[in-house]
Structure 1
Amino acid sequence: MQRLCFALLLLPVFSIAQDGFLRGADLSYVNEMEDCGAMFSSGGEPEDPYLLFAEAGCAIVRLRLWHTPSWYDTLNAGQRYSDFEDVCRSAERAREAGMQILLDFHLSDFWADPGRQWIPAAWAPVADDLPVLQDSLYNYIYSTLTAMHERGLLPEMVQVGNETNRGILLPQAVNDAGWVLDWDRNGPLFQSGLQAVTDVEAATGQNIRTALHIAGPTNAHWLMEGFANHGVTDFDIIGLSYYWQWHMPATIGQTGSIIGSLRETYPDKEVMIFETGYPWTLDYADAASNILTTAHPDYAPLSPQAQKQWMLDLEASVRANGGSGLFYWEPAWVSTDCYTPWGQGSHKENATFFDFDGEVLDNGGMDWLGAAPTSVEEASPRERLSVQMRYLGNRTLSVEVPPGISDSLTCQIFSIDGKGVASHALQPGENQLRLAALPAGQYVALVQSGQAVCLTRLIQLP
């Protein structure tokens, strides 16, 4: 049988020492949850959550930073969170617990994600003046990191933007009008942000690893090509978000295959999963709708053990393909009487590492942090498959498969936010795939053999 693509490869040049792999958690919500009355416990005994995570094996804490989250002023007691002072409070707790820090610049006053990259209100007047906006971004990142350094809290890692599939710092009207990705604007902005970190390194004499963050593993290659083609190359880490609910049918194995391909294409870059999550129940503890409600068939029924196994298996795939870190998003966002902009309580209490009373789940995600790495059998090197893909117009995609291929091939179509929307079986020769049923927009076409990803391409449907 002819071997195709690359999947679950252990390549010596990409090997990561076992103790060098980072297991991390985003604990941005902890201060707020405690102020709202949350109690965290293990074995029935109250625990400081930062110490709890550190003792469990968490090596690094991810913390989001909003520019001016004034929307908090009308919520609960009016206390702001994930602003500079709150981040410093969290960073100090992480330091005291012996953990590293990944600072996540959202570059917005509100949540930044694939669908929303609203520019901070303070910078809105200069949104169309690129040089001034670059200067504002540079000074903001430089001054923030310098101030943290003065407090002894300079992070070990910094990501410039959060899930920046559509760019950063967009006027709200532009963002909300539909998909946009202006590389002539995007490239210089990212370069300015990364340069600010480089200059802080020079000024402080301390190393800071920089990262770009992409949502959906299927989006990684075309976005990385865009960054490279527009001069954005001076960074260290490719960070990915991967959730089954939002990125299905991309599997853990396919995600690992994409990581391996990224490591091969960009050997000077590390690759990490910056966000993932998996629910342990479909029950709820409050009136806030939960955002993770879908079970993968291989990790069902939902349970704490299924949550732990998801993390173990995902880590095994990341490690086997040369990735160097895995973070869980908001494992301590438990339910309280406080409000979010969308309801009372937590939108993820069913996917934390705690039960509804704040007790660490028995055999759940927290146990992943201290577990021995799951061994993965080393795969044999596989030949590349020479697949050609062309968009012919008239909503027809041509995929040319070489003759003599006995493995089963498919072409999956993903929306720009990473969700699978169509799948087509492929045969040797030319395959003309009709995409008439899909709405207008940009999509990612992915050719795969089993779990091995062979080729991804961005296509535009009128």
Structure 2
Amino acid sequence: MTTSPSTGPVGIRRRALLTGTAAGAGALVLGVGAFAPAAQAATFVKGADVSWLPQMEAKGYYWNNSSGVKQDVFTILKGYGITAISLRTWVNPSSDPANGHCSIEETAAMAVRAKNAGMQVLIGFHFGDTWNSVGVQNPPAAWASMTYSQMLQAMYDYVYHSCNVIKYYGVTPAWVKIGNESNSGICHPVGSISKPAQMTGLLNAAYDMSKQVFPSTPVLVHLAQPQNLAGVQNFLNAYQNNGGKWDITGLSSYAQGSNVTGVLANMKTIQSSYGRPVLQVEYGGPVGKPTQVRDSLTAFVGGIKGFGGLGTFYWEPEGYPSFNNYNSSAWDESSHRPTAALDGFL
């Protein structure tokens, strides 16, 4: 199905090192600015992460449209102007419905489904076996005892293999995201931000292998909490100063109400300071306050569009609280109808 990790990616990795294009090649930055103008000229992206959808469907969950008619989630989302789907993927996940699944094979199947629905696809690597986020950056269990050089090779092999699985299924992602809310680095402690050269090396390996398989697909790094501008800048400065490669800066923000204005100002600063367009890859809010969530989403869409950002993704709008124990959704579980929250995209 794909090139064996024991042959293809290692060979390509070695060739990349010899030609000076791989992560260990110093401060050479590939692709900087190459995608930003085209990306900024593109249509503003409205998207949703629905990675829980297959597990929820397997448990019998369903979703109605605003008229109360049961319908495919992608069809309903398209009615709100959503044209892109974000899908996370984990290395060796468990079978837990809420905290597992999302293997690259399952993610590829979802990518095909999104493509067949006429949607663009964002593939997001967590570089773990389950959630990694701003507060947690655990490596996959199989990588936990590796040295930096071993982990670097594992990163090359994993991303190259995973991208080839996606390609085998006939999907070319519109975006690839390397890491998830990586403010403190990735794969601690080896890729911690306290070891910026190693952090950058691992992420550059992921960048290089994504570009090897999908040369025209822009690659994102992903930071959380843009309300804390210094925290985002701390990562981006360390990454940039060590030769980090990225085409788009992905940001998570769930800000609501009066907090949105300050976050938008920081997003604009991040975009102008680093010369890469910003994409809000996560947004959401309390399921019990749909009008607040709608109005805040409207503010984000208008504000990001106003300073030339790329778009906004709603995180797991279909995720009923009874499934995931999160108080964040854009569907009412009693009626199975979308709440007013998604109207912020209209």
TM-score range, shorter chain: 0.7 to 0.9
Q: 1:79 to 1:104 in 2, by over 3 A?
A: closer
Letter in 2 for 1:307: V
CA distance in 2, matches of 1:85, 1:147: 7
Q: State the superposition RMSD in angstroms.
A: 2.5
CA distance in 2, matches of 1:196, 1:14: 22
- Which of 142, 154, 171 is 1:122 aligned to? 142
In structure 1, the partner of 2:202 is 189
In structure 1, the partner of 2:31 is none
The answer to whether the Cα contact below 8 Å between 2:104 and 2:165 also exists between their aligned partners in 1 is no
Within 5 Å, which residues of 2 pair with 1:55-70? Answer: 55-70=79-94
Q: Deviations over 1:129-188 (max 9, x none)?
A: 2222111101110111112111102311111000001111125xx89xxx9632122111
Q: Deviations over 1:382-436 (max 9, x none)?
A: xxxxxxxxxxxxxxxxxxxxxxxxxxxxxxxxxxxxxxxxxxxxxxxxxxxxxxx
Q: What is the CA distance between 1:209 and its match in structure 2?
A: 1.0
Q: What is the CA distance between 1:93 and its match in structure 2?
A: 1.5
In structure 1, the partner of 2:240 is 228
The answer to whether the Cα contact below 8 Å between 1:64 and 1:103 also exists between their aligned partners in 2 is yes
Matching of residue 104 in structure 1 with residue 124 in structure 2 = yes
* Identity of matched residues, %: 27
Greater CA radius of gyration, 1 or 2? 1
In structure 2, the partner of 1:214 is 223
In structure 2, the partner of 1:49 is 73
Q: Give the secondary-structure state (helix, strand or coil) at the position aligned to 1:273.
A: strand
Q: Count residues with an aligned counterpart.
A: 306
The answer to whether the Cα contact below 8 Å between 1:158 and 1:209 also exists between their aligned partners in 2 is yes
Q: 1:238 to 1:15 in 2, by over 3 A?
A: closer
Q: Deviations over 1:178-227 (max 9, x none)?
A: x963212211111111111111135xxxx211000001112222221111
The answer to whether the Cα contact below 8 Å between 2:111 and 2:171 also exists between their aligned partners in 1 is yes
Letter in 1 for 2:160: Y
CA distance in 2, matches of 1:15, 1:356: 36
The answer to whether the Cα contact below 8 Å between 1:106 and 1:161 also exists between their aligned partners in 2 is yes
Q: What is the CA distance between 1:360 and its match in structure 2?
A: 2.5
The answer to whether the Cα contact below 8 Å between 2:249 and 2:271 also exists between their aligned partners in 1 is no
In structure 2, the partner of 1:365 is 341
The answer to whether the Cα contact below 8 Å between 2:62 and 2:70 also exists between their aligned partners in 1 is yes
Q: Give the secondary-structure state (helix, strand or coil) at the position aligned to 2:85.
A: strand
Whose helix fraction is larger, Structure 1's or Structure 2's?
2
Matching of residue 140 in structure 1 with residue 158 in structure 2 = yes
Q: Give the secondary-structure state (helix, strand or coil) at the position aligned to 2:320.
A: coil
Q: Give the secondary-structure state (helix, strand or coil) at the position aligned to 1:20.
A: coil
Within 5 Å, which residues of 2 pair with 1:401-440? Answer: none
The answer to whether the Cα contact below 8 Å between 1:334 and 1:358 also exists between their aligned partners in 2 is no
The answer to whether the Cα contact below 8 Å between 1:334 and 1:346 also exists between their aligned partners in 2 is yes
Task: Find runs of 4+ consecutive structure 1 residues off by over 6 angstroms.
Answer: none
- TM superposition score normalised by structure 2: 0.82
Within 5 Å, which residues of 2 pair with 1:159-178? Answer: 159-170=177-188
Q: Deviations over 1:280-330 (max 9, x none)?
A: 41xxxxxxxxxxxxxxxxxxxx3x222211100111221222211111111
The answer to whether the Cα contact below 8 Å between 1:15 and 1:322 also exists between their aligned partners in 2 is no
- Which of 63, 88, 112 is 1:92 aligned to? 112
In structure 2, the partner of 1:263 is 271
Q: 1:244 to 1:263 in 2, by over 3 A?
A: closer
Q: What is the CA distance between 1:15 and its match in structure 2?
A: 10
The answer to whether the Cα contact below 8 Å between 1:16 and 1:319 also exists between their aligned partners in 2 is no
The answer to whether the Cα contact below 8 Å between 1:212 and 1:235 also exists between their aligned partners in 2 is yes
Q: Deviations over 1:3-23 (max 9, x none)?
A: xxxxxxxxxx99955x61111
In structure 2, the partner of 1:327 is 313
CA distance in 1, matches of 2:335, 2:157: 40
The answer to whether the Cα contact below 8 Å between 2:49 and 2:85 also exists between their aligned partners in 1 is yes
Matching of residue 356 in structure 1 with residue 342 in structure 2 = no
Q: Give the secondary-structure state (helix, strand or coil) at the position aligned to 1:147.
A: helix
